[in-house]
Amino acid sequence: MTHDTVKRLNVVGLIITIITVLCAILWTFPLYWGIISSLKPEDEVVRPYIELWPDTLTFSHYVDALTKTQIGAWYINSIVTALGITVLTVGSSLLCGYAISQLHFPLRRPLWWLILGSFMVPLQTLIINHFELIARLGLLNTWAGIILPQLIHPVVIIVYKQFFDSVPKDFREAAAMDNASEWRILTRIYIPMNWGVTTALSIVTFIWSWNAFLWPFLAVTRTEMMTITVGITQVSDAFGVYYARELAAAVLAGLPVAIAYLIFQRRVTQAITLSAGIKG
């Protein structure tokens, strides 16, 4: 490789780096602006010009959000529903993926085609059916009413099936020769081999569930039963809108997910890569 080629590659790399940094700044600026605005007094937030740093730092809006709203109940609702969705989705998807991958039963192939075809149906098109069904069951304004319609995550099933397909058949044949049951083969061989995939999918499913807005917004009308994403829309004042307080509530709503992402960043990236590979 000649000196001119190396120099050209260095210039291209520098340009790509600069573009990447600029894109990162553009992406993070709204987040920075929201956090900084939540730390400003209300009169500074509504000023007609841009200030990148507040003249006066205040945490009063966070205190108001914590003490003058039902954010504690909203947190509990979000934790319970997100954990419930995660456990049920990952558990059922694991079993379904294993059955389609390793077992032979009637209608196995049509079931697989149905799961693949579900990507063509946006979840929003099922909202009316879900609402009608949940209403008839009397599950509106309940945790079960929030959880049940959000258990549809076909990508998790597909990821599990692909993983089980990749496991060498020798393991299964050796276990079958020892007269091991299907449950024993699953729990003693396949599950211990995919803890990394299960962890990654669990984290991403939890984040999806925590951030869900449309269905919890439709399924819950009582303030004390709202999840955090819906509850923060109720942060208002009798005398008008307080932007700083609403931004403080929004920051508090996103804080658990941000912390979870920072702690499990590698696992989240792994799960997103797996999901993107499936959808692509």
pLDDT of residue 57: 84
pLDDT of residue 89: 94
pLDDT of residue 49: 74
**Rounded to whole angstroms, how far apart are CA atoms 234 and 236?**
6
Q: How many independent structural domains does the chain possess?
A: 2
147 & 242 share domain: yes
51 & 68 share domain: no
List, run by run, the mean pLDDT of 10-residue segments along the chain (280 residues): 61 84 88 87 80 83 85 92 94 91 86 84 83 92 93 87 84 80 84 82 88 91 90 68 82 84 72 53
3-state secondary structure 61-104: HHHHHHHCCCHHHHHHHHHHHHHHHHHHHHHHHHHHHHHHHHCC
pLDDT of residue 280: 45
Last residue of a domain, one of 40, 58, 76: 58
Segments forming the whole domain that contains residue 12: 3-58
